[in-house]
Amino acid sequence: MTAERAELHPRKGLEIDQERMGTELFWKNAKFLLQVRDRMNNPEASEDDLKGMIIENLRNYCGLPSCEEDGSDPKKDYETYEACIAASTKELASYAEAMLVGDIAQRTGLTNELTGVMDPAELTDILVTTDDQRVRFEARRALHLGALFFEFEKRYGTEREILKTLQAIEIYLDAMILTPGKEIDAILYHKIKDEPSGRIIPSSIRIPAFGGGQNRRKPGENKVMLTFREALSDDSAKRPIHVVEKERVKSRFSALLKAIRSKRPIGSLKDVIALACYVDNAETELEDFVALLDTHFTSDPQDRDKHRLFGGEEEHENGHSAKEFSMEKLIVEWDTQMLLDNRIAVDMALSHFFGTKRNQDAFWQRAEEMAGKKIPIELQVGTLRDLVDNSLSGGDANHAIYKARQAGDVFEGDARNVLEMLFPQDLYGINFRSQVIYEALKQKQLAGLGLNKDILERFIED
């Protein structure tokens, strides 16, 4: 292997060569690669030193503090990285199976030489020593995707930790904004209005528990049972606000794909963890609830999208979302110090979440351990009509239709390059720009969305 071939560039954002993704991972020159190879082939070399060297280079690549700076154990980090390589490899195979059809999916499988190989040092050694271009690429890809998973976990936490973060935010909302422990179960009746053109017509919704009227289904209506929380407006009127909470966590692989598409570090994504709140009365409650959030959270105006009822006409980052899907969005920095600063109020709310003092003590212990670590959270605020339309309508605000648009456009522009970067044509023999393959993959994605025939035809004819 020549020095020229291994001479790689320092990270600038996430500039991935579209033909050979991950070429910049760890290395600025051949020296590191050759050191790994030499240590792998030297029986007297220290295994711990080798692992430490790999982890320090990985942390430097991810923009993370060194192990010494944040008190991490390189051995544990190495085990985490190996697990991340295994997880990303498995999820890549699942993604290929879900996206691609039959023979095409089979052609993306790992070469025999790399099947079951997840050890970072072994993958690096293969990368240096093999003459097989596909094996070299798959080793580099495994190291790169594993690095993105590793960075995701270090920035946002494990899946279990992320769920605990969401729970902590909900407890904070319960303590500072909502009426602690007060839940209202109510039936929402709705009629969906569709037009073949896809233009959205607001759904007809009513909640007898709040607005009076007949508490039974009328002809043509559907009904949904929802659990509402209550808040009071932050003014002298103290108007009641009825809120439905929905949490959403972007998976590691979804975040990975977004990072690749946008050529941005995975740690720069601000919508990995989101909490959506839907209010009953669009005329007053939407504005009142946003005002409450502004009182208790700090957000950057540049990272804020306005609801369409407030004149929001934002350009959607992913290019697929319908204009009708226009939630109020605030990017806030979550820090468990906010819990510690309001301990008396939070203690009153805790009893509604944890029945034992032991669990409450564990909650506070984690809050103290995590204090000072800032995590970006996307808070979304919409109306119940948004909730119904996003889930059930035949208009373009429907999330399933958004997925159909995304499936239909997945091979356009940068999005198309995701598959080309994951499975380069000269190595896998798949031309993702072929119209025949494009139509086959598009039809597969649409078939799995459960949309009715009229709606499907809009995309098939596009």
Do 415 and 438 lie in one domain? The reply is yes
Do 131 and 30 lie in one domain? The reply is yes
pLDDT band at 83 (very low <50, low <70, confident <90, very high): very high
Q: Which amino acid is at 146?
A: G
Do 12 and 72 lie in one domain? The reply is yes
Is the entire prediction scored with pTM above 0.75? yes
- Residue pLDDT, tens place only, 336-366: 999 999 999 999 999 888 889 999 999 999 9
Asked if residues 276 and 248 have their Cβ atoms less than 8 Å apart, the reply is yes
Do 246 and 349 lie in one domain? The reply is yes
Provide the percentage of residues in the chain whose pLDDT is more than 90. 27
Q: Which amino acid is at 45?
A: A
- Residue pLDDT, tens place only, 272-298: 899 999 998 777 888 899 999 999 998
Among 339, 387, 156, 61, CA closest to 53: 61
Do 376 and 256 lie in one domain? The reply is yes
List the CATH number of the domain containing 168.
Answer: 3.30.460.10
Do 326 and 454 lie in one domain? The reply is no
Do 322 and 213 lie in one domain? The reply is yes
Which residue, of 369, 397, 425, is where some domain finishes? Answer: 397
Please tell me whether residue 40 adopts helix, strand or coil conformation.
helix
Which residue, of 102, 131, 154, is where some domain finishes? Answer: 154
Do 178 and 245 lie in one domain? The reply is yes
Asked if residues 75 and 47 have their Cβ atoms less than 8 Å apart, the reply is no
**Residues 109, 111, 116, 118: is their CA dihedral positive or negative?**
negative
- Residue pLDDT, tens place only, 135-148: 988 988 898 899 98
Strand-pair partners of 186: 226
- Domain count for the chain, please give it: 3
Which residue, of 355, 376, 397, is where some domain finishes? Answer: 397
Domain range spanning residue 360? Answer: 159-397
Q: Which two tokens stand for residue 280?
A: 């009953």
Do 381 and 246 lie in one domain? The reply is yes
Average pLDDT over residues 21-38: 54
Do 182 and 44 lie in one domain? The reply is no
Please tell me whether residue 377 adopts helix, strand or coil conformation.
strand
Q: Give the count of beta carbons closer than 10 Å to the beta carbon of residue 421.
A: 20
**Chain mean position to CA 462:** 28
Do 7 and 101 lie in one domain? The reply is yes
